[in-house]
Structure 1
């Protein structure tokens, strides 16, 4: 049917609105457009050809120029590895059955026609995972030479390998492959009427993503796709985007850093203080509540390294406090040795009125800053002369042992604090180094 039209050399229309031109071209009679507007019957023959590829020689492939404008990056789903964006796909091709003389059409060089009336190339994006819901009533621009320009809005959810280890300083590279579903290279060839840098600049000017993403660049390649015995033409665009990290630095990284810093400062609380452990536990509970917010839970995977390190540091700090408290408990509560027997026993002072206990409280056993020996603030109970030296010697040794335990506990506290600072600095430098690579 289509092969018979070029042999006739003319397409007959009702009212002879489509007349013969030179060779196998056709010219629309638009002499009356300046009086009554565009006459629909003038294009009726073109509309009737909609089911068929608009070509005079069927062996000649149709050249379709493909480009797009990326306007919005809606969502990057790291868990499902999907990128949702909104773009305008621009298609340009020639229809040899549409042409008119602008001089006879009051200088009219371009018309708008409802796209549903024309043949449209079946160009789609290979990586797209959703059904394209194209709005109805889209318009195509038709020039006097028969060149058709069609802009199609698309909401695309396509598969993309999202590497979010460096969140929130991550960069993503996604692919948009445009190809035909039906037409092989014998029937359709794809090309571009714009340079890649023009597509990049246009997309960068109009992209709007609520401040989260920015477009780095777009590259392209044109490999052929072999499916069975059929060879299809395609154009692959590589889109590089980068996340703007300021929002996540303010809402995630800075608060976490503050909590870790306050936890480090808690080491300056006295080791004997009963408030150190509860204070660290409060910070740890507050950090867990902080991690449970939706903003962090949504991005738990990419920021897992950083937040896991922060949580580990706070947990190690709490364990260190428990260990030091245990050492101080041993130092201040172990029974002193007795000189009256071969085995340790509970020594009691002879009852003499309201005599004070022989074992001083733990906080009185600490060395005085101006004396080398511990200062006893509790009076001694007088007794027989022969018992005084033995009892004094036993208590002095017990006090010295307790003092050594206390000093050892303080040394361990200082050592573990230094190790904590070293580990914290190493973790911070490691995370910063990973994010900068």
Structure 2
């Protein structure tokens, strides 16, 4: 019996409370016009306190320069028509009223970039207290235009602004202000691509050509910094490796026939990566992204390295023509560059001394042969004419001398032909050694140049911050 009485008592209180809430709801909305601004006097503005809490950075579209965020909007104002005495309504101090039943300030996102903006904001109930203070807490996904500064991409920092203001009312009708609570990000979800530096709200005032009155608005600044790890491993590191492989073409033997092919292949690979980067960048001419400059410089270096490879290949095969290496090139390549490159070049006699040595050798042998065999010399009379051989021995000696001279001439021609071939091979080897020295020189120069230029470009932002 006791439990039945207790249950009836609780049920009666609930019904009574429900009836009181319904009665308060009907009394507040009786003759209430949600389309009329609730101001005591028509010339008095309604003070609206606006705050924005960022909960998530969903996306930053660099190509279209749009930032997509998720956030909470908190708006507070006073409606004199919604005041009641709590004593008359069982001490009810707050009540929830549907979204479309009360007047609300028409505060919208001015730099909106979403065609379905009205559908992206949740229409939540309004909280009203007995003093007429109305609180509207809503959430939504906001797409706003954000001019991006891509100079330091992918090591860039961006400042995006969300401009909230009344669309129809000027400052004399709705005075919007902020309580500076937008910087409190207690419910922010960390982004894997962007690091949130800060969120700052500030009241601004602007004038339009259509009207004389001032239009206040709230500027929400979202400062973010890109996390570059993804871009380093997927865009920068492959480009560095491709450029190093292209420069290793100088270390490849010239007879392999693949030096130019390696350079052209590396050039095409770098171009493909540049196209991938260009697809995600906005088509702007105001500034070139840092990574675009890096790829452009890399393409130039690889192209220049391929050109120098063709030049050294031409020098490598220049000795086939049998031309002598100029003395100044020998001095620069063998006496100056080779020691710096730590290359050991075999020493050869000069081509001229080599020819003179062969000629003098065979001339001396011929003279010694004639001196050792005077009987082979033809006899000369006083009239400077040769005596006619009178005996068979002299005739045999003359025939032997003739055959010996023919044999000597043939051997001399063969020796000179071999000497000429040796000379051509020596010149060819000298040109090949010049090409080898130039290959090593260009390899070191291009590697040092690539490292210095890459560091200067990729760490440009850090260098500017230091100085």
TM-score, normalization: structure 1?
Answer: 0.73
Aligned to 1:174: 160
In the alignment, does 2:382 pair up with 1:401?
A: no
CA distance in 2, matches of 1:92, 1:163: 35
**Residue 85 (structure 1) aligned to one of 54, 69, 72:** 69
Deviation at 1:286, TM superposition (A): 3.7
Deviation at 1:304, TM superposition (A): 1.0
Query: Which of the two has higher C-alpha Rg?
Result: 2
CA distance in 1, matches of 2:91, 2:344: 106
Deviation at 1:113, TM superposition (A): 1.2
**Residue 298 (structure 1) aligned to one of 252, 267, 280:** 280
Cα-to-partner distance string for 1:349-399 (whole Å, 9 max, x where unaligned): xxxxxxxxxxxxxxxxxx99877469xxxxxxx972443554355334333
Aligned to 2:224: 241
Aligned to 1:124: 108
Deviation at 1:137, TM superposition (A): 4.5
**Residue 270 (structure 1) aligned to one of 236, 253, 256:** 253
Segment drifting more, 405-414 vs 260-269: 260-269
Segment drifting more, 165-174 vs 49-58: 49-58
1:430–1:154 Cα change, 3 Å: same
**Residue 124 (structure 2) aligned to one of 120, 130, 138:** 138
Cα-to-partner distance string for 1:151-182 (whole Å, 9 max, x where unaligned): 23343333322101111111111222222222
SS at match of 1:69: strand
CA RMSD of aligned residues (A): 3.2
1:94–1:33 Cα change, 3 Å: farther
CA distance in 2, matches of 1:70, 1:271: 62
CA distance in 2, matches of 1:222, 1:270: 69
Task: Give structure 1 stretches of 5+ with no counterpart.
Answer: 1-30, 338-366, 375-381
Cα-to-partner distance string for 1:383-420 (whole Å, 9 max, x where unaligned): 72443554355334333332332222122212222221
**Residue 425 (structure 1) aligned to one of 451, 454, 466:** 451
SS at match of 2:151: coil
1:225–1:299 Cα change, 3 Å: closer
In the alignment, does 2:299 pair up with 1:311?
A: yes
Q: Give yes or no for contact 1:63–1:94 (8 Å, CA) kept in 2.
A: yes
Aligned to 1:185: 171
CA distance in 2, matches of 1:199, 1:221: 9
Question: What is the number of residues matched between the two proteins?
Answer: 364
Deviation at 1:106, TM superposition (A): 4.7
SS at match of 1:98: strand
Deviation at 1:116, TM superposition (A): 0.8
Segment drifting more, 305-314 vs 139-148: 305-314
Task: Give structure 2 stretches of 5+ with no counterpart.
Answer: 1-13, 283-287, 325-342, 351-407
Aligned to 1:42: 27
Q: Give yes or no for contact 2:75–2:135 (8 Å, CA) kept in 1.
A: yes
Aligned to 1:283: 266
CA distance in 1, matches of 2:445, 2:454: 14
CA distance in 1, matches of 2:60, 2:425: 66
SS at match of 1:38: helix
Segment drifting more, 393-402 vs 306-315: 393-402
In the alignment, does 2:205 pair up with 1:224?
A: yes
TM-score, normalization: structure 2?
Answer: 0.69
Q: Give yes or no for contact 1:336–1:395 (8 Å, CA) kept in 2.
A: no
Cα-to-partner distance string for 1:265-314 (whole Å, 9 max, x where unaligned): 34322233223333333333444444455x76324863311222222232
CA distance in 1, matches of 2:166, 2:101: 20
Aligned to 1:251: 234
Structure showing greater relative contact order (alpha-carbon pairs closer than 8 Å, 6 or more residues apart): 2
Aligned to 1:13: none
SS at match of 1:409: helix
